Amino acid sequence: MLGILNIYKVGGMTSSDVVVKVKKILKTRAVGHMGTLDPQGEGVLILGVGKATRLFNYYLGKDKVYEAEFTFGEERDTLDGEGSVIASGGRMPSKEEILQKLPLFTGEILQTPPLYSAKKVNGRKAYEIARSGETVELPPCKVNVYDFSLTDIEENRIRVTIHCSAGTYIRSLCRDLAHSLGTYAIMTAIKRIRCGNFCINDSVRTEDLSENDIMSLKQALPELKVAAVDEKYYSYLLNGRKVPYGENGEFLVECKGEVFGIGEGKAGELKVKVYMKE
């Protein structure tokens, strides 16, 4: 088995829980996720099957779209509803105030990740350090927020849709938006509706999953042009050697009808960078 799965992750499961479940369903150990989704979160979770697990770094950099709910009135150390309350009593801002502040959080911005996150600090995950009671300081990171829209407001809650770059923490956007309004808020719901080219409407729940839901590399990587290599260079590709090729860029490399993986064309040569041939 080789390919990509677009899984609908339900809330209450970790991404690793989903991987374990899919391994059992497909009866294979070669399954891995292409980037986590918070346990409370639901929606699109991309999994690689077989050697497609080697695409982790490729998919990790894809843009994402989320729908989220922010609840005003308190702040927690985890920035969601799971942690300990560290501040309370914040006011509920008006719709006009919120709309006025949203543009401050679009474009390229500096964002401090949550203390309870998988960000590495001297080789350790930040949440492991925070849970041990040690002090941890995370430096701000550059992220891109392409769109930050208010979709609903009700009592002390708002719902938003966010299109952002990889590495953006929606919990941090919640915290920072609230602080800019002189109040507190936590993220109380999140749904990933798109990751790269993968949409929630095309995702499959684990209870409905079968081997037929595995997408081929060609189906899963439509953004990559296919580089069809002459069959006389088949052995070159098998042995990781460069082959002559007249175009520059990133390609899905194919020879004799077999997909070898993702390659890079440069200076008249093509080399497979991510080898996935079964």
> Any idea which residues carry the catalytic annotation?
38
Q: What secondary structure letter does DSSP report for 156?
A: T
Q: What amino acid is encoded at 194 in this protein? A: R
Separation in Å, CA 139 to CA 47, 86, 111, 222: 30, 21, 8, 36
Report the C-alpha gap between 170 and 143 in whole angstroms.
Answer: 11
Report the C-alpha gap between 188 and 81 in whole angstroms.
Answer: 6
The residue to which tokens 């996150």 are assigned: 117
Q: Say if residues 272 and 260 touch (Cβ distance below 8 Å).
A: yes
Neighbouring CB atoms inside 10 A of 45's CB total: 27
| CA-closest candidate to residue 226, choices 214, 239, 235, 217 | 217
SS (H, E, C) 64-78: EEEEEEEEECEEECC
Q: Say if residues 140 and 110 touch (Cβ distance below 8 Å).
A: yes
